[in-house]
């Protein structure tokens, strides 16, 4: 199995676990959208919390040129620790939600 397949499996497993966590209030569903052909993974919430509409991206991860790009990370403790615990080297994780000039200070990959 090559690195991209390994990363794809790791990201899928982590986000699938978060997808299965039930909501304690409202009528909110977790949506897990995967495009393996393009290596895109989106975890989002949709539904109603009382009269308030909920619809938004929680996590968006993309594998680009052998690196895991985190475009959005709304998980309470973040997804990065889980990726590292699963064996992904920090220099292969890009925090894309930080400006390129800031990434050198994150302890993760630059690009």
Q: Does any domain span residue 110?
A: no
Q: Does any domain span residue 111?
A: no
Q: Does any domain span residue 85?
A: yes
Q: Does any domain span residue 23?
A: yes
Structural domain of residue 81, as residue ranges?
3-105
Q: Does any domain span residue 91?
A: yes
pLDDT (tens digit, 0 to 9) for every residue of the chain, 111 residues total? 479 999 999 999 999 999 999 888 889 999 999 999 999 999 999 999 999 999 999 999 999 999 999 999 999 999 999 999 999 999 999 999 999 999 999 999 998
Q: Does any domain span residue 56?
A: yes
**51-86 b/e (C-beta count within 10 Å ≥ 16 → b):** eeebeeebbbbbbeeebbbbebbebeeebbebbeee
* Structural domain count of the chain: 1
């Amino acid at each position: 199995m090559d690195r991209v397949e390994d990363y794809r499996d790791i990201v899928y497993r982590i986000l699938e676990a978060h997808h299965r966590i039930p909501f304690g209030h409202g009528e909110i569903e977790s949506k897990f959208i995967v495009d393996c052909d393009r290596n895109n993974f989106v975890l989002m919430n949709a539904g109603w919390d009382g009269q308030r509409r909920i619809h938004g991206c929680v996590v968006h991860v993309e594998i680009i040129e052998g690196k895991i790009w985190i475009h959005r990370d709304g998980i309470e403790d973040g997804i990065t620790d889980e990726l590292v615990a699963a064996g992904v080297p920090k220099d292969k994780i890009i925090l894309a939600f930080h400006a390129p000039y800031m990434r050198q200070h994150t302890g993760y990959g630059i690009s």
